[in-house]
Amino acid sequence: MAISTRFTILLILISTTLCSAEIRSLKIRDDERPIIMLDDFGFTNRGRLELNISWISLSFRNNPLLDLSNNVGFFLYAHNSSRHTLKSEAATYCPPELRRDKGKDKIHKGLLLSPNLSNNTLVYHNETDPGHRVLIFVNCIEGMNVSMDIQWAMYNVLDGGNVRDYLPVGLSVLPRVYFFFSLVYVIVTSLWIYVLYKKRPGVLCIHLFMLAVPIAKVLKLVYDSTDMSCIKGTGRRLVDHGALFLYLFEFVTFFEGITYFTMLILITSGWLFLKPYLQLKDIIVLILLIPFQVIATMIQAQIEIDGSCEYVTSWFYLKSLFYVVECVCYALILLPLPTYPDNFRSRVLILRIKWVSYILFLFVFFTHFVLLFWWYMAPYKYFWFYFAAWELATLTFYFVIGYMFRPVVQQSDIEGLRLVSSYVNNNVFLSQIMFEL
């Protein structure tokens, strides 16, 4: 049991991501876990939880005459510290009997929500104590399996009880964060277009392709902002309102991923900077990248459809698989790295390309490890900082790459163009003379 608990906590640490408190439905079949974590939420002093137990069945292997009211039930676990201590304390043990005092569990610091477990049970709870809560189902009877169909919603009440906010404290500002960064990327896109216009003689095809990266980022951030706003107001994701939004999500996700990784592969391969065409090795890497991005998009779409939180087992496997695919894509980026300088200019460009791998490593380490650790240990009120810092780090990474590989018009390039133009004109003139003769 201890090994299973440690594995679960480790998996949560590896694959933690946004867990917005939507209106959720869950079907559980023959589950004998002592603690089933369902969802977590950051409440204000006007929080509310609605729980609908449409069907529940308890099957015993032994001791069917135990008092269920002292050993089984839904609890709202209270903890205002970090996510790490919240999950570890709630999942490490199950007491042999829940000792309650006026509904308060002295051991788990939780509130008993459903003293009577029966079909078609509606539970309403008003939370007046601000803090971070996790909804759990406790089964302290060894050998008892639980099957149930449940639906729940947690939200904060705003404006005198007329408006519901389904995003928890710490994530309620997320729609504005995404919208702000979408405006920033619009400015970045405009700035890059201006640079391309001013440096027209030095513009290569790779510079035009780099323009697609901030455009894809704008589309993804606008979608995320709209999606979070929809959850905030209705408790439902955009994909729950029709298949069109699912196709839109798949498009913007795939477009963002394929442009981002393709840009990095083309830069690290030295395409057009060092060689006018892609080598066979580079083409193979690009061909391998496309199916991996398709797989990543399908995984994200499935997560978006399920809308499940990090406590659901299938969510673990999907997120773990997604991170594996993402790591493979980052590994593919470093394969085409050129190592053979031809002249001074090539050596300078190759040095820049090598620096890209170092900067990329720092970017991935910061976003996938440092920020992930901060999110896992941070107080619930500051969860939004994780996403703001991620977008800020991505924006900084794009700025560095854009500055390092910006179009540059050199005097030697201008003279070279003049010589080529003169050479072509002279050849055309000589060809005309020979044709007349």
Structure tokens at 187: 């400015």
The 10 Å Cβ neighbour count of residue 119 is: 11
Distance CA 133, CA 77 (A): 5
φ/ψ region of 210 (left if φ > 0, alpha if ψ in -120 to 50, else beta) reads: alpha
What is the sign, positive or negative, of the torsion defined by CA atoms of 97, 101, 105, 109? negative
Nearest Cα residue to 165 out of 77, 238, 230, 239? 230
pLDDT for 196 = 94
β-sheet bridge partners, residue 42? 132
Q: Which residue is listed with tokens 């929500």? A: 113
- Average pLDDT, stretch 8-16? 39
Helix or strand (DSSP H, E) at 104: strand 104-105
| Strand 72-78 with 163-165, pairing | unpaired
Task: Check if the beta carbon of residue 12 is closer than 8 Å to that of residue 90.
Answer: no
The 10 Å Cβ neighbour count of residue 53 is: 21
pLDDT for 383 = 87
- Average pLDDT, stretch 199-225? 92
**Does pLDDT of 284 surpass 50?**
yes
Q: What is the pLDDT of residues 93-104, one digit of tens each?
A: 455 444 444 444
Nearest Cα residue to 359 out of 296, 405, 322? 405
Structure tokens at 151: 């639906």
Within 8 A by CB and 6+ apart from 168, the residues are 20, 21, 40, 41, 42, 43, 132, 154, 156, 380, 383
Q: What is the pLDDT of residues 134-181, one digit of tens each?
A: 888 888 777 888 899 999 999 999 877 778 999 999 899 999 999 999
Counting DSSP H helices and E strands in the chain, the numbers are 12, 11
- Average pLDDT, stretch 85-99? 49
pLDDT for 6 = 41
What is 253-303 written as a DSSP string? HHHHHHHHHHHHHHHHHTBTTTBSS--HHHHHHHHHHHHHHHHHHHHHHHH
- Average pLDDT, stretch 102-127? 65
Query: How would residue 423 be classed by pLDDT, with cut points 50, 70 and 90?
Result: very low
pLDDT for 119 = 81
pLDDT for 191 = 96
The upper half-sphere exposure of residue 392, i.e. CA atoms within 13 Å in the direction of its Cβ, equals 9
Query: How would residue 387 be classed by pLDDT, with cut points 50, 70 and 90?
Result: very high
Distance CA 289, CA 135 (A): 40
β-sheet bridge partners, residue 102? none
User: Is residue 140 classed as helix, strand or coil in its secondary structure?
Assistant: coil
Distance CA 132, CA 128 (A): 12
Burial bucket for residue 5 (CB in 10 Å: 0-12, 13-18, 19+): middle
What does the mean pLDDT of the chain come to?
A: 77
**Does pLDDT of 267 surpass 50?**
yes
Distance CA 95, CA 376 (A): 26
What is the sign, positive or negative, of the torsion defined by CA atoms of 20, 22, 27, 30? positive
**What percentage of residues in the chain have a pLDDT greater than 90?**
26
Burial bucket for residue 14 (CB in 10 Å: 0-12, 13-18, 19+): middle
User: Crossing angle for the helix pair 313-333 and 2-15, nearest 10 degrees?
Assistant: 50
pTM score: 0.80
- Average pLDDT, stretch 391-401? 95
Q: What is the pLDDT of residues 28-72, one digit of tens each?
A: 888 888 888 888 898 998 999 999 989 888 887 666 556 666 678
